Structure 1
Amino acid sequence: MKIRYLLLHAYGMGGTIRTVFTQANAMAAAGHEVHVVSVVRRADRPYFTLDSRVRLSDLADLRPGARPAVAAGSPLARLRAARAARIAAGPPRYVPRGESGYGAFDRRIEEAVISWLSGLGDGFLVTTRPALNLLSARFATGGVTRVGQEHMNLSVHQPDVRAAIAEWYPRLDAIAVLTFRDRADYRAVARRTRVTRIPNAVHSLRQVPSTCAAKIAVAAGRLRPQKGFDLLIPAFKRVVSEFPDWQLRIFGTGDRQRQLRELIEQHHLYNHVFLMGRTDRLDDELAKASLFVLSSRAEGLPMVMLEAMSHGLPVVSFDCPTGPADVLTDGKEGLLVPPGDVDALAAAMGKLMADEGLRAQYGDAALATVQAYSPEAVRDRWLELFRSLEP
């Protein structure tokens, strides 16, 4: 089976990249022909490990010095070249402005994607964000079977993106989503297209389990409003007087770092809450912890939560749209609280901080639940979809 994955930037370190690499590696290990294509390239090598049997290529190499120099010529030739460069650097024609990756596209990059898509005539193509799904629906019409993968709920997208989805997603052969709510929402706007739920896989289930004895709570994600760390910090303030020997460690980088640091200072939590920055050893940090907290305002399928569960960590989470409730049963693997309710989040953290036995009980259940998200289990669900789409 020939399978292609199209990513915006396969050389970065985002959750979508990691899960696609996990998919690609599992498919290659099963003997399939796998090709990962990166729209842009800004690094010499991928951040995540890719199986040597997986082919990796890019459409626009943006590394310093990668662009060929403009050849000298007549004044008219230079004028034409400058005009062509200005057009190429203009905004894309088909990617909606509200798409979160819009800034990565210009006319030249969009045309490179369209040209590549137009040349496909066989196998399966999995595109991995709205911009690429929309371009695939419009231009990959030469015989390749097109699956658009959605990592966010429809309601989270900007209005222009939702309008484009309603217009073009029905032309895809299938849409793969991460949660049950996503499946219902995308079915409502793409009634003629098959919509199936296939969760992302954790990268490994062979992890060091937590003892749930250390007095450390962990959160992780980009330091942006979506992740709700501005809600988590005041929630931790509410419990720290009762549990002064506990720490909250927040891993990640982002544009809200200064504001979050100020919030820590404001609540006098500088000895209890730590912005840990980026780490290449999150698995080790999760193994040291006893509690994982998800404070997001919205999610697709929260992969870092699943990674925490693979270490046998109990979870406290907002029941945000979407994802946590698809994985967690309240009172089984952890505790779900109403979205944005800081007091409820604090109370749930306090309940688990006070009871090591309950943490261990929930952690054991988390480890059992996460088995359904192994690379092999998720690979088999993808293969079932591909086989059902074959002519």
Structure 2
Amino acid sequence: MRNLILEQVNIDKNKLFILSNPIDIPTIKKKGNINKTEINQVMNSTPYLLQVSRLTHRKGHEQLIDIYYELKKKGISHKLYFIGDGNNRKNLENKVLSLRLENDILFLGEMENPYPYFKNAKLFLHCSESEGLPTVILESMVFGVPVIAMNCHTGPKDILGEKGEFGKLIPMYDKTKFIAETLELLTNDDIYKKYSNKSLERIEQFSMEKIALGLDNLFYEK
């Protein structure tokens, strides 16, 4: 995001400071612990991969369904859950039917509290073609869920790091790479634990306390 601003605005780079929106980590964790019978029945049925966003074009859902289709052919047992709604939902549901994945891909709609699903997901997958700062990636990291994301122009790299230090950052539209990195996380416990810990490490930089300290330092030039 910083580089994009510097490209478009004539400003001294030493006078440009980027502060992200904070994440209320304690509240999200508390909401993630809420017990509901219907939620538990869905979550406990089988391990699942998660995507959360509006079901609209340019969010990369078609691409993610294609990726999941190939993952199923390679033998994964995980389901894929979509949380969110939008004008592209019917097209996505038809695509799922055409691939005969209706028992494996679930569209759960909008939710007042999606955090129990974040908490219990095996991986968070993100294929959006454009983003600002994707809060859903941060929300998944609160629970130590490893993230795999397409590297669109801004957004995922601002969270996962320019070189993917805190998650798997995949070149845009590279389905083969996305599949390979997903399989590695699902089959290698050491790699999985590494990126789970990286999620927990990174999210602390977006805590309300950390962002407030950044504002304080900025105003008082500490």
Q: In which range does the TM-score fall when normalised by the shorter chain?
A: 0.7 to 0.9
Alignment of 1:181-330 (within 5 A): 181-185=3-7, 188-191=8-11, 195-205=16-26, 207=29, 215-329=47-161, 330=163
Which one has the largest radius of gyration? Answer: 1
CA distance in 2, matches of 1:204, 1:250: 22
Deviation at 1:301, TM superposition (A): 1.3
1:339 matched to which residue of 2? 172
Counterpart-to-counterpart distance in 2, 1:181 and 1:331: 17
The runs of 5 or more residues in structure 2 that have no matched partner are 34-43
The alignment partner of 2:17 has SS state of strand
Letter in 2 for 1:203: D
Give the number of the structure whose residues are more often helix, by fraction: 2
Amino acid paired to 1:254? G
Residue of structure 1 equivalent to 2:211: 378
1:352 and 2:185 correspond: yes
CA contact under 8 A between 2:157 and 2:164: conserved in structure 1? no
Change (3 A) 1:291 1:191: same
Three-state SS of the structure 2 residue aligned to 1:316 is strand
Report SS of the residue matched to 2:108: strand
**What TM-score do you get using the length of structure 1 for normalisation?**
0.49
- How far apart, CA to CA, are the structure 2 residues paired with 1:192 and 1:180? 12
Deviations 1:5-52, CA, capped at 9 Å, x for gaps: xxxxxxxxxxxxxxxxxxxxxxxxxxxxxxxxxxxxxxxxxxxxxxxx
For the Cα contact (< 8 Å) 2:51–2:82, is it kept in 1? yes
Relative to structure 1, the CA distance from residue 356 to residue 280 in structure 2 (aligned partners, 3 Å threshold; closer, same or farther) is farther
Does the 8 A contact of 1:298 with 1:322 survive in 2? Answer: yes
What is the alpha-carbon distance in structure 2 between the residues aligned to residue 363 and residue 291 of structure 1? 9
Two-structure CA RMSD over aligned residues (Å): 2.5
Normalised by the length of structure 2, the TM-score is: 0.82
Distance verdict in 2 for CA 1:197–1:332, change over 3 Å: closer
Alignment deviations for residues 114-169 of structure 1 (CA, whole Å, 9 cap, x no partner):
xxxxxxxxxxxxxxxxxxxxxxxxxxxxxxxxxxxxxxxxxxxxxxxxxxxxxxxx
CA–CA separation in structure 2 for the residues paired with 1:196 and 1:182: 13
Q: Distance in 2 between matches of 1:271 and 1:341?
A: 26
Greater length-normalized contact order (CA 8 Å, ≥ 6 residues apart): 2
1:301 and 1:323 in contact (8 A); partners too: yes
Number of residue pairs the alignment of both structures matches:
206
Percentage of matched positions with identical amino acids: 24
Hey, what's the Cα distance between the residues in 2 that align with 1:216 and 1:378? 32
**Structure 1 pair 198/241, CA: closer, same or farther in 2 (3 Å)?**
same
Cα distance in structure 2, aligned partners of 1:192 and 1:317: 31
SS of 2:128's equivalent in the other structure is coil
Assess, with a 3 A threshold, how the Cα gap between structure 1 residues 371 and 205 changes in structure 2: closer, same or farther: farther
Paired with 1:250 and 1:285, the residues of 2 have a C-alpha distance of 10
* Alignment-mate amino acid for residue 19 of structure 2: I
Given residue 11 of structure 2, which amino acid in structure 1 is its aligned partner?
A: R
Alpha-carbon distance, 1:281 to partner: 1.9
Deviates more, 1:354-363 or 1:247-256: 354-363
Measure, in 1, the Cα distance between the counterparts of 2:26 and 2:180. 30
User: Letter of the aligned partner of 1:236 in structure 2?
Assistant: Y
